[in-house]
Amino acid sequence: MAITLKVNGKEQSYAGDPDMPLLWYLRDEAGLPGTKFGCGKALCGACTVHLDGTAVRSCQTPMSAAAGFSVTTIEGLSDHGDHPVQRAWQEVGVPQCGYCQPGQIMSAVALLASTPKPTDADIDSAMSGNICRCGTYDRIRKAIKRAAGVAA
């Protein structure tokens, strides 16, 4: 039986293994390489996407768990990379190597959707599952505050 879901607003159908991680469907089947493979164990956050607005680790989310849901990837945040969080990321100069940034941005967007004016503690809690090997955590916090309109 086919699994149906929406990816970045478009209806999709998948008839393969229901245990396949959503990450591999997005990258290999849907052609959306922005979601990154990091650890494969949901520990680093590089594969973060939204499932009906909630940040999830796509490497550990089987396709069967995505059935009937709406998935948003980094490519689906905006048509031109101008989502407020993406703009703040650019203005602050957050990325260094950039590999973790799609997952960081997706976690930040989910945070701001639930907590529009986050404190440092809110940011630390929401972003704690996203690892940045380059250590740009101070810039990440600054960009989140900028996108929220909160003084850094």
Q: State pLDDT tens for residues 116-140.
A: 999 999 999 999 999 999 999 999 9
* CATH topology classification for 3-76: Ubiquitin-like (UB roll) (3.10.20)
Is residue 1 predicted with pLDDT exceeding 90?
A: no
Q: According to the model, what pLDDT value does residue 13 have? A: 96
Average pLDDT, the chain: 96
Domain spans of the chain, in order of start: 3-76, 84-148
Q: 6-19 pLDDT, tens per residue?
A: 999 999 999 999 99
Residue among 109, 118, 103 at smallest CA distance from 83: 109
Q: According to the model, what pLDDT value does residue 151 have? A: 80
Alpha carbon 61 to chain centroid, angstroms: 13
CA-CA distance, 4 to 68, in Å (whole number)?
6
Alpha carbon 126 to chain centroid, angstroms: 12
Is residue 152 predicted with pLDDT exceeding 80?
A: no
Asked if the domains at 3-76 and 84-148 fall in one CATH topology, the answer is no
Residue among 39, 99, 41, 40 at smallest CA distance from 74: 99
* Token pair for 144: 């989140």
Query: Are the beta carbons of 39 and 1 closer than 8 angstroms?
Result: no
84-148 to CATH, choices 3.40.50.300, 1.10.150.120, 3.40.50.720, 2.40.50.140: 1.10.150.120
Q: 38-97 pLDDT, tens per residue?
A: 999 999 999 999 999 999 999 999 999 999 999 999 999 999 999 999 999 999 999 999
